[in-house]
Structure formats: C-alpha cells, structure tokens
Amino acid sequence: MQLKLKTILSTAATAALLSGAPGLLLAQQAGTGQLSEIDDDDVVVQPFNLTADQIDDMEVMTVDGETIGEIEEVLADASREPVAVAVEVDDLLDLDDEERIIRLDRLRLEDGRFATDLSKSEIEALPVWDD
C-alpha cells in the first residue's frame, strides 16, 4: 500500500512539473533562497523594456480589471536576471497584504498596468516573498 501511494504521489508531482503548474518551480527556488531582490533600479526588465524602478509600485490587475495589488520588488534568479516580481496583494484576496511571487511570463503590460490571467486561487497558492 505504501509503495502504491509513493508511486501515485511521484506521478502526480511529475505531471504538475510537466504541465507548468504556476509557481511550482519558483516555490522551490524561493524555499532555497535562489531568488533575490534586484538592487540596481536601472536594470531593464524584459520583455517589458522598463527598468526595475519604473516597475516598482505598478498595479497588477486580473483580466477582469480587479486590482490584485502593487509590485513591491523585482526578483532575480541566481544569474541575476529578472524572472519574477513580488506583488503585495490587497483586500481582493484577503491575504493580509502578503507579497506573492509572480513570474514575469505570467504578466502582460496593458495601459500602463500589469495584468495576469492567474485566478484568485492560483494567486493564493503562489509562494510568499519574505524579504
């Protein structure tokens, strides 16, 4: 029975990785301390062609136009490349102003704000940024 459960859990974890479960890889990176805040405000964040300073405090919205929160930090991987942002989520999600990590590839720039197609439950499941 125990071997069967391990096999099922292993298969489920592999499927989640292969399907690109949002935040799964970042959760592992954040847990091991591989993400860090970008200190240089002049670093250009691609694909948006904006500096880290310009992105700081920009709003992040749902596709329905509801405010999720504001970008507090631009986060880099071990190679110092911007890969994510820490977003202070507001009352929309009832998460007590926690900062959640959202990968840059889950954001779009629209009319001077960022939008994401992540659902509320997906955002709640994202890793917490604890600076």
Looking at every residue in the chain, the average pLDDT score rounds to 78
Residue 5 has pLDDT above 90, yes or no: no
Identify the structural domains of the chain with CATH numbers, from first to last: 2-125 (2.30.30.240)
- Say which residue, 8 or 78, is predicted with more confidence: 78
DSSP code per residue over 14-69: HHHHHTT-TTHHHHHHHHTT--EE---TT-EETTTTEEHHHHTT-EEEETTS-EEE
Report the predicted TM-score, pTM, of the whole model to 2 decimal places.
0.73
Q: What is the pLDDT of residues 79-110, one digit of tens each?
A: 999 999 999 987 656 656 789 999 999 999 99
Q: What is the pLDDT of residues 24-33, one digit of tens each?
A: 444 434 443 5
